[in-house]
Amino acid sequence: MQIKTLIIIPARSGSKGIADKNIKLLGDKPLIVWTTQAIQNARLSNCIAILSTDSEVYAKVGREAGLCVPFIRPVECSSDQASAIAVVEHALQWFKDKYDYLPEQVMWLQPTSPFRSSAIIEQALAMMEQRQADGVIGCKEIHRDLTTLFRTQDGFLTALSEERVQTRRQDVEPLLTPNGAMYLCKTSVLREKRSFYSERTLPLVMDAVMSLDIDTPTDWAMAEALVKAELV
């Protein structure tokens, strides 16, 4: 039976904000292991999960956690400037070379979103199939409207909309923004658009805990607090 979904965990070394962030211990396990275990605990079929890294040290951690680490990412896909799409395209080329076909869809699970659950992974795949969508992107709600979101012009606040300002939270239909925790896209669409987003992309709304994206030491402290409080 052909593999339908290629799941990629991207884990580049050389993080500037938090040294070796992707293998730093969060609670009792390296950061990448949180995502690895979510995949392992999900009820999946016709899927393969790989770690895409530029580091032999990270590769060792991944293998010890039970991940497939089929390559070390080349230099051109490992810099600060390398795009996620370039990393996906490299992984797809590896897949094509190994299996002589391409997977139907690609799931991108960043280890910096450690609290995304196994159920969310299953839900994204189910949504994709049931709705015949081109993609699913994890999102979080922003309880604001465009009249309370601003840019600056000549140093002064300028509302994104000139409509009457709404102040009551319950009167506002939430806006959605990607949370970084989940990207799922048809391979054909991703290759054509070189983006995870298309016009037929569904939102998968997650709560504040699952939406936590660790980028700064403050984010890390928040993640540690959630672990210590046994909220994850």
Q: How many domains does the chain have?
A: 1
Identify the domain containing residue 38 by its residue range.
5-139+176-228
Give me the CATH number covering residue 207: 3.90.550.10
With 0-12 CB in 10 A as exposed, 13-18 as middle and 19+ as buried, what is 4? middle
Q: Is residue 198 part of a domain?
A: yes
Q: Is residue 168 part of a domain?
A: no
pTM assigned to the model: 0.93
Structure tokens at 145: 């409207």
Each residue's pLDDT, cut to its tens digit, for the chain (232 residues) gives 899 999 999 999 988 889 999 999 999 999 999 999 999 999 999 999 999 999 999 999 999 999 999 999 998 888 777 899 999 999 999 999 999 999 999 999 999 999 999 999 999 999 999 999 999 999 999 988 777 889 998 999 988 887 765 556 666 678 999 999 999 999 999 999 999 999 999 999 999 999 999 999 999 999 999 999 999 9
Q: Is residue 156 part of a domain?
A: no
Q: Is residue 167 part of a domain?
A: no
Distance (Å, whole) CA 30 – CA 111 = 10
Q: Is residue 72 part of a domain?
A: yes
Contact 16, 56 (CB under 8 A): no
Q: Is residue 154 part of a domain?
A: no
Alpha helix locations (H) across the chain?
31-41, 56-64, 84-99, 118-130, 187-193, 217-228
Distance (Å, whole) CA 30 – CA 22 = 7
Q: Is residue 170 part of a domain?
A: no
